[in-house]
Amino acid sequence: MTGKMRAIVKHHQGYGAQLQMVPVPTIQADEVLIKVKATSICGTDVHIYMRKDFE
């Protein structure tokens, strides 16, 4: 599968994140790629969005 997909990306420390179009990852023979139809936000997502330090 080639093309683009939507992803929430946090590029720097500090408040916030961005919805961006990114390349669909290339997978290896022992990996699978799953197309997600729906998603939601959990408490951990909010914590990462709000925090100043991240890994």
The model's pLDDT over 3-55, given as tens digits with 9 standing for 90+, comes to 999 998 888 777 888 999 999 999 999 999 998 899 888 888 888 788 766 55
Residue identified by tokens 């197309």 is 35
Please report, for the chain, the start and end positions of each structural domain, with discontinuous segments joined by +: 4-50
| pTM for the predicted model, two decimal places | 0.65
CB 9 within 8 A of CB 20: yes
The pLDDT value recorded for residue 4 is 95
Supply the residues annotated as catalytic: 44, 47
Q: Angle at CA 1, nearest 5°, toward 42 and 36?
A: 20
The pLDDT value recorded for residue 52 is 61
Q: Which of 29, 27, 19, 20 is nearest to 2 (CA)?
A: 27
CB 37 within 8 A of CB 52: no
**Amino acid letter for position 44:** T
Residue identified by tokens 């408490």 is 43
